Amino acid sequence: MKNMARTLLISFLAALSVPAASLGFAGKGAFSAGGEFSAATPEPPVSAEPFAEAPSVPERLIQLLDGDKCVSIPLEEYIVGVVAAEMPASFEAEALKAQAVAARSYTLYRISSGVHGGCICSDPSCCEAWLSEEALREKWGGAFDTLYTRVKDAVADTESLCLSFGGEAILAAFHSSSDAFTEDSENVFRAVMPYLRSVSSPETEAEVPNFASSVHFTREEVSDTISRWDASASIPASGGALITDAVRSESGRIIRAKLCGRDVSGAELRKIFSLRSAKMSWETGDDGGMDFFCTGYGHGVGMSQYGAKVMARQGADCAEILAHYYPGTELVPISALKYSRFSF
């Protein structure tokens, strides 16, 4: 009965929801590249009277892009699917809680930016990964009950909490692992974010699978890779330097370099050669082949997930982990955000 009432209420709220862009909210995000927000507070439920067992606090709904349409899903249910898709569920409880808060904050930031008309998608290269309960049952098999409970508990323990800077939900970027230090946002995303600063990160190769990685490209593979990037690029003759003028950040990651004489960012260089991190070095072989050596995994900005895991194991709680990786932010309920757009 309770489930039915909940389903009915969700349907009721979905019917009431108004496309976010049409509400014309004109707040301005201090760090939003998109300028004006197009997201707005959905119309609140007028009455839950018809449903005797309706929850006293209405569930917050977000819009999830499903194919070419947006579907309503309770925010907290959505966050369970994000945490489960983005962090191993076997990680320490406080790390999972930190991930839940980071995912909730990022989701609100992303929706605020007006992406997909106020919806969020489950493509990790665009918005963030998300897996349905069905997909998780398939992924986890016999371990589903244990792992799903761990994630659900982490989300429930942090219900409605998010990170705020200047009253706004933050761009809570996260990545898998960093070698000693995370990265300043401007070295990867171009924009300077005051809470996305390079900070120490405690994980080492003792805790992180494939922390140090290497990959070899034959001359032919180098040639094919460069051609796919830019068919008109001129590859140096055997023994010549393919990558020159490399500039590193203080954390040791490549910020920019020249590839075949053309300017590339560290992030582009990483993408072109499908490398695990921009904290890289390389050797050019006499045969024209290349060896790359990387440490860590991901862009390096914001919270390191393995760093959070190690901090949790060392006794840090969720709030301490978040304060470390997102300096200067506040852990607040969604209702405390400046424009209360997410009070629903």
Per the CB < 8 A criterion, the answer to whether 292 and 234 are in contact is no
| Spatial distance between the Cα atoms of 279 and 281, rounded to a whole number of angstroms | 7
Q: Quick one: tokens of 50?
A: 């018809």
* Residue 85 interacting with Zn ion (CB under 5 A): no
- Backbone Cα Rg of the chain: 22
Q: How far is the CB of 116 from Zn ion (least distance, A)?
A: 6
Interacting stretch for Zn ion, rule CB under 5 A, among 6-14, 113-121, 181-189, 270-278? 113-121
* Residue 124 interacting with Zn ion (CB under 5 A): no
* Residue 191 interacting with Zn ion (CB under 5 A): no
* Residue 126 interacting with Zn ion (CB under 5 A): yes
Angle at 239 between CA 235 and CA 242, to 5 degrees: 40
Q: How far is the CB of 130 from Zn ion (least distance, A)?
A: 10
Residues 6+ apart with CB under 8 A from 241: 284
Interacting stretch for Zn ion, rule CB under 5 A, among 48-56, 91-99, 125-133, 222-230? 125-133
**Is 70 or 121 the residue whose CB approaches Zn ion more closely?**
121
Interacting stretch for Zn ion, rule CB under 5 A, among 24-32, 122-130, 194-202, 265-273? 122-130
318-325 helix and 305-313 helix, angle to the nearest 10 degrees = 140
Residue 271: phi and psi, rounded to 5, are: -70, -45
**Is 127 or 173 the residue whose CB approaches Zn ion more closely?**
127
Q: What is the dihedral of CA 111, 160, 332, 203, to 10 degrees?
A: -80
* Residue 127 interacting with Zn ion (CB under 5 A): yes
Query: In a 3-state reduction of DSSP, which class is residue 256?
Result: strand
Q: How far is the CB of 63 from Zn ion (least distance, A)?
A: 12
Number of residues that bind Zn ion (CB under 5 A): 3
**Which one of residues 9, 54, 121, 131 is an interface residue with Zn ion (CB under 5 A)?**
121
* Residue 62 interacting with Zn ion (CB under 5 A): no
Give 310's Cβ-side CA count (13 Å radius): 20
* Residue 290 interacting with Zn ion (CB under 5 A): no
**Is 174 or 181 the residue whose CB approaches Zn ion more closely?**
174
**Is 64 or 310 the residue whose CB approaches Zn ion more closely?**
64
Residue 256: phi and psi, rounded to 5, are: -155, 160
**Chain residues that interact with Zn ion, rule: CB under 5 A:** 121, 126-127
